[in-house]
A and B are shown apart, each in its own frame.
Chain A
């Protein structure tokens, strides 16, 4: 049973470009979570999704950030018009309902 998969592992973007981060949950997991880790800090919750639904996006910046988890395919975290402050590691986790979250290896975004 493969773990949570994220791609790309590393992503470089110039200011103003768009970044798309993908997360494939573990088999059988219907819940996906996105977290952001800034250098020298812990993980901060961004958004919690189930298939085709955003359950909680209280940690998402109000502008430029969006997330989806379609019926088919991976969950996508999209950042429009990236700025240098968006540089961070973005982690996805998945779980069955109300159970322990398992984390992917992360996508490290660098904005030049």
Chain B
């Protein structure tokens, strides 16, 4: 069975600083990996996904993530955050139709 662990429940950071949101997963088979963002009272928006190929994945809004198979990690990074990046971020893993989500990391960007 797959599982997803987001190591930080909250990450405060100053505007224009870099940020990394950590995600580790466990699975006995190859899986697909995703990061979603959820703004207050809204649905989930896909930021990026890893299906195969290059381990560095670029997404929307300047985010990127690196798939590390040996460490079973898929950390999300952005070199310089904006106030508008304040939101909840979810890491997810899927095999076939079933998608398992982490508990989420709340990113607070401070001026």
Question: Do the two shown chains form a genuine complex with each other?
Answer: yes
Interface positions of A (Cβ within 8 A of B): 4, 6, 31, 33, 35, 41-45, 48, 55-56, 91, 98, 100-106, 108
Give 9 nearest A-B pairs by CB, closest first.
Answer: A42-B101, A105-B43, A103-B44, A103-B43, A43-B101, A42-B103, A106-B43, A48-B97, A42-B104
Q: List 25 A-B contacts (CB under 8 A).
A: A4-B43, A6-B43, A33-B97, A35-B101, A42-B101, A43-B44, A43-B90, A43-B101, A45-B98, A45-B99, A45-B100, A56-B97, A56-B98, A91-B43, A91-B44, A98-B96, A98-B97, A101-B99, A103-B43, A103-B44, A103-B45, A105-B43, A106-B42, A106-B43, A108-B41
Q: How many residues of B contact A (CB 8 A)?
A: 20
Complex Cα gap A91–B92 (Å): 15
Most buried by B among A31, A43, A105: A43
* Contact partners of A31 in chain B: CB under 8 A: 97
Closest Cβ of chain B to A12, distance in Å, is 15
Complex Cα gap A35–B45 (Å): 15
What residue of chain A has the Cβ atom nearest to residue B9's Cβ? A40
Most buried by A among B45, B90, B96, B97: B97
Assess whether B97 is in contact with A41, with CB atoms less than 8 Å apart: no
* Contact partners of A101 in chain B: CB under 8 A: 94, 99
Interface positions of B (Cβ within 8 A of A): 34, 36, 41-46, 49, 90, 94, 96-104
What residue of chain B has the Cβ atom nearest to residue A6's Cβ? B43
New A-B pairs, 14, CB < 8 Å, besides A4-B43, A42-B104, A105-B43 = A6-B43, A31-B97, A35-B101, A41-B103, A42-B102, A45-B98, A56-B98, A91-B43, A100-B34, A101-B99, A103-B36, A103-B45, A104-B43, A106-B43
Assess whether B42 is in contact with A105, with CB atoms less than 8 Å apart: yes
* Contact partners of A108 in chain B: CB under 8 A: 41
* Contact partners of B98 in chain A: CB under 8 A: 45, 48, 56
